Amino acid sequence: MSVMGMQSSREVGALRKRRYIAIAAALALLAALCGCDSAETAAVPEHIFSLKYEGAEGNVYSENTEGYYPEGTEITAHAAAAEGAAFHCWTAGDTLENGGEIVSYQKDYTFPLAADTRLFGNFRAGDTALVLYHANGGAVAATGEDTCTDEFSLAYYLYPNTLAEAGVFVREGYTLIGYSTEPGGVGEFYNVGGKAFEDTDQVIELYCVWSKQTPAEDFTFEYDEENGGWTVTGYTGGTAEELSLPAEYEGEPVTGVAEGALAGLDMARLVLPASLCTLADFSCSQCPDLETVYLFDSLTYLSDDSFAEDGALTTVYIGAATAPRFSNWFNNHTKKIELLNYWKDVSPKMICLGGSSTSYAVDAELLQSELDRDYLVLNYGTNGANLFNMTSEWAMRFMNEGDMLVHIAEYSFWQLGGTECRWESFRSFESCYNVYSWVDVSRYTKFFDSFCSYLEARLDMAPQTYEDYVSNLAPQGYYGSQGTLNLVTYANGSPDFWSGRHIYFCDDWLYPFMVRNTNRQYDKLRDMGADVVLAFTPLNRNALYDYQTDEAMDDFERYLSENLTAPRISDLQENFFAPEVFFDDDYHLCAEYRSIYTAQLAADINAWWAGTNENAAVTAPSAG
């Protein structure tokens, strides 16, 4: 072989060697990019699975014992609640209370194993609900963590109250204004301390909603010795869409806003911190663009004049920063709102709306059984001082096309179109301030005046807790699942019983603005596809003035039929009862006679449906 031939062979060998090295390097690079070496390209990674729970409220188990499994292995975990308990959810990494991530609410949870997984079962008592809070930019004051849980008893209330503003969550320079079901605040919004109308069979997950406070240097202050804090006397900053007052200045709380301090400003939203005690007359007046206000029940003084001439103000969010006071069945009617929400997806339903006379006189279950058509019947009787305009607005949030509202009005300004608020309305829904953000406050007078009167009434009352509502109300079971009052009230037995002759019917008793307001609500109901009728409440015959005549009452009925747009289905004089069958008031029919009134109401409704009720004629024009 020639030298040239030998060199040629060596060159070829070297070239082949270089090619082999290059191919090997490429394969090694590819293996590195794939996260494995060339010898393990066909191997499937393994992950550890374990199942955890320690407690007596249930049991967790799986066909897959603790150990390593190939990625993609189908794992099934099972949870079984003990008697008196309920399964909450599965969390990964740790328990729900310790910040574990919720991965499923299913008792039998199947998933493909994709990583090392420690799965925790979480249980609760069967009559409780668990709320998981996210500080959402803030922190839990006690732990510094982002999440915390709060467990509520559901022995009486169907839905829990959210946490009041008591320093549970902190975020420097921000005011907590509510909670949302979505982290961006775009979900269902709940007032601080208000009811969370969510599915209590699962974990209720809420996110703090914060308002960034306007810098303190944009305000002027004077020190208020009486309240031990600073009073805002003026605003020196620029135009702002939202003005959010600081909660403190120079290390001490901001407790007041002086007369004229924020008057005439171009702002659309005003946020007042929970530290605030007084909101002086005309302090926030003449703000033409102010639409929304956030405030707390820690205020001790405010009035309608605080917001005088604020023509755009329509929405007020009231947050709870103090403990509740009125925890008894007679004063608090939040249960009725909860029942409306509980049955909101059931249709057709019939809602009987009125004051305490409706609460005492209507047996919802009996009325339902006596009707000629299939309706779920709910008793929405609360307190006669609650404005019909407001309570009907609240009812509409939970009504659907095909539903029906029976307006059983007491003979009062508040139940037939009046707009002047009273402090009892706030007392009635102390633990559910949500409801006041559902209405246009510009349609009402003395809204802030009556709120202030309510706050004053609370000052001398002992603080309680939301759980006190449960302990005071649940054992007696005052309201059934359809709102019927489960309280046996006995007749007073006296033919002379009366609390004062105060009822007189005449054809000009309803002022025109009351007619307009009532018809506006009737028209709203019809616009949403619901029926509405007007019935009469039971009344003690002795409540009538001596000189009241049958002719005057006939004229009153005629006036209602000609001016109100809802059919009048009842005859006024058929709803007078002997004084000895009342309980403790001219409107409070005893339990023994409840069935008699309810049967008459059912007969009136059935006659209207059948077209045989002569009271049903309506000639009034639409309210427009």
Average pLDDT value for residue range 404-414: 93
The answer to whether the Cα torsion of 415, 417, 420, 425 is positive or negative is: positive
In a domain, 7, yes or no: no
Select from 201, 219, 179 the least CA-distant residue to 319: 179
Q: What's the rounded Cα separation, in Å, for the pair 305 and 307? A: 5
Are 477 and 357 members of one domain?
yes
pLDDT at residue 136, rounded to an integer? 97
Q: Rounded to two decimals, what is the model's pTM?
A: 0.88
Point out the domain boundary residue: 86, 110, 125: 125
In a domain, 453, yes or no: no
Higher pLDDT, 446 or 487: 446
Average pLDDT over the chain reads: 89
Point out the domain boundary residue: 212, 240, 258: 212
Average pLDDT value for residue range 282-293: 97
Are 379 and 398 members of one domain?
yes
Are 587 and 498 members of one domain?
yes
Residue 499: CATH number of its domain: 3.40.50
For residue 569, is pLDDT > 90? yes
Are 501 and 582 members of one domain?
yes
Are 76 and 104 members of one domain?
yes
Q: Is 507 helix (H, G, I), strand (E, B) or coil?
A: coil
Pairing relation of β-strands 74-81 and 108-112? antiparallel
Are 150 and 295 members of one domain?
no
Point out the domain boundary residue: 212, 234, 251: 212
Which tokens belong to 228? 């031990």
Which tokens belong to 202? 């699962």
Question: pLDDT of 103-112, one tens digit each?
Answer: 998 999 999 9
For residue 202, is pLDDT > 90? no
Mind giving me the DSSP string for 254-311?
EEEE-TTTTTT---SEEE--TT--EE-TTSS-S-TT--EEEEETT-SB--GGGGTT-T
pLDDT confidence bin for 479, thresholds 50/70/90? confident
pLDDT confidence bin for 622, thresholds 50/70/90? very low
Which tokens belong to 175? 């005011």
- For the chain, the straight-line distance linking the first and the last C-alpha, in angstroms and rounded, comes to 115
Are 137 and 261 members of one domain?
no
Long-range pairs, 214-218, Cβ under 8 A, ≥24: 214/240, 214/243, 214/244, 214/245, 214/246, 215/246, 216/246, 216/248, 216/249
Query: Which residue segment(s) compose the domain that 52 sits in?
Result: 46-125
In a domain, 6, yes or no: no
pLDDT at residue 402, rounded to an integer? 97
Task: Catalogue the E-assigned strands of 95-135.
Answer: 101-104, 108-112, 117-125, 128-134
Are 150 and 284 members of one domain?
no
Question: pLDDT of 538-555, one tens digit each?
Answer: 999 999 998 889 999 999
Question: pLDDT of 500-510, one tens digit each?
Answer: 888 888 877 88
In a domain, 621, yes or no: no
Higher pLDDT, 154 or 292: 292
- Number of structural domains, the chain? 4
Are 380 and 417 members of one domain?
yes
Question: pLDDT of 161-181, one tens digit each?
Answer: 999 999 999 999 999 999 999
Are 509 and 598 members of one domain?
yes
In a domain, 146, yes or no: yes
181 and 198 Cβ atoms separated by less than 8 Å: yes
Question: pLDDT of 364-382, one tens digit each?
Answer: 999 999 999 999 999 999 9
Average pLDDT value for residue range 398-415: 95
pLDDT at residue 30, rounded to an integer? 40
In a domain, 225, yes or no: yes
Are 563 and 486 members of one domain?
yes
Are 255 and 394 members of one domain?
no
Question: pLDDT of 74-98, one tens digit each?
Answer: 999 999 999 989 898 999 999 988 8
In a domain, 436, yes or no: no
Q: What's the rounded Cα separation, in Å, for the pair 18 and 218? A: 75
In a domain, 299, yes or no: yes
